[in-house]
Amino acid sequence: MITAERKPLSEIKESIAPYKKMLIVGCGSCVAECASGGEKEVGLLASALRMDAKKENRELELLEMTLDRQCVFEFIDQLTELVDEYDAVLSLGCGAGVQAVAEVFPRAIIVPALNTTFLGQTKESGLWLENCRGCGDCKLAYFAAVCPVTRCAKGLFNGPCGGSKNGNCEVDPETPCAWALIVTRLEESGRLDALATIHPPAQWSRQQGKGPRKIVREDQRI
């Protein structure tokens, strides 16, 4: 899923300073899962902004709502009757959601309240880990389902650097060494001979060599 963190309240206040009537819109998918943009977080942010405005004797009217997804036009359509009634929309969606809402309502002012971070795995309650970089050329089959592009601090494709200690990365001793995990998994599954294969450098052009990427599935198009 896409993870995100809420911007500092001071930055959000600065972004919305010119507006007196705002629609605060959350997203009920990825950013809700990582506790940054769901219905609860919309309520908390709205309360903080109302209290701050009252303390500073500023006029501020807010309406809260949360869409199932901000990146899907069918859900964004729920805002159609509301957008023109407000000075701006404060979005608690990821960057893709913010841009999708702006595409549907090009004359509206869409202000992001989150900083989009990475593709994350929910490791445990309150902990999300970046395990995938969306490089467009997945090689997890060769590396025992451990991504060296993301999980190795040096992005090494053909074995460890030699600097890890006790199974942890030399760059961050609190992070497991990706190659220690790869070797252990391959050994335990009887596939250690896979390390004899030499892998060429990553094809970064598949990540963003030609600008923004897209996926087209003709069988899914109407």
Report the CATH number at residue 35. Answer: 3.40.50.1970
pLDDT in tens, 96-147: 999 999 999 999 999 999 999 999 998 888 999 999 988 888 889 999 999 9
- Start-to-end Cα distance in the chain: 26
Q: Which residues pair with 22 in a beta bridge?
A: 62, 88
Separation between Cα atoms, residue 123 and residue 119, nearest integer Å: 13
Separation between Cα atoms, residue 104 and residue 99, nearest integer Å: 9
Q: What is the domain extent for residue 143?
A: 133-206
The answer to the question of residue 221 being in a domain is: no
pTM for this prediction: 0.86
Q: Out of 17-21, 45-49, 55-59, 200-204, pick the least confident.
A: 200-204
SS (H, E, C) 52-102: HHHHCCCCCEEEEEEECCCCCHHHHHHHCCCHHHCCEEEEECCHHHHHHHH
CA-to-CA separations, 150 to 5, 19, 103, 131, 202, in angstroms, rounded: 20, 40, 31, 6, 12
Separation between Cα atoms, residue 115 and residue 112, nearest integer Å: 8
3-state secondary structure at position 148: helix
Q: Are strands 2-6 and 21-27 parallel, antiparallel or unpaired?
A: unpaired
The answer, yes or no, to whether residue 221 has pLDDT greater than 90, is no
Give percent helix, percent strand, percent coil of the chain, each to the nearest 5. Answer: 35, 20, 45
Q: Are residues 64 and 21 in the same domain?
A: yes
pLDDT in tens, 37-72: 999 999 999 999 999 999 999 999 999 999 999 999
Separation between Cα atoms, residue 101 and residue 60, nearest integer Å: 22
pLDDT at 209: 65
Q: Are residues 93 and 195 in the same domain?
A: no
pLDDT in tens, 148-160: 999 999 999 999 9
**Torsion sign over Cα 83, 89, 92, 94:** positive
Q: Are residues 193 and 146 in the same domain?
A: yes
Residue whose token pair is 């970046």? 130
Q: Are residues 149 and 201 in the same domain?
A: yes
Give the pair of three-digit tokens for residue 111.
Answer: 């202000």
The answer to the question of residue 219 being in a domain is: no
The answer to the question of residue 114 being in a domain is: yes
Domain count, the chain: 2
- Dmax over Cα atoms in the chain, in whole Å? 70
The answer to the question of residue 216 being in a domain is: no
pLDDT at 6: 97
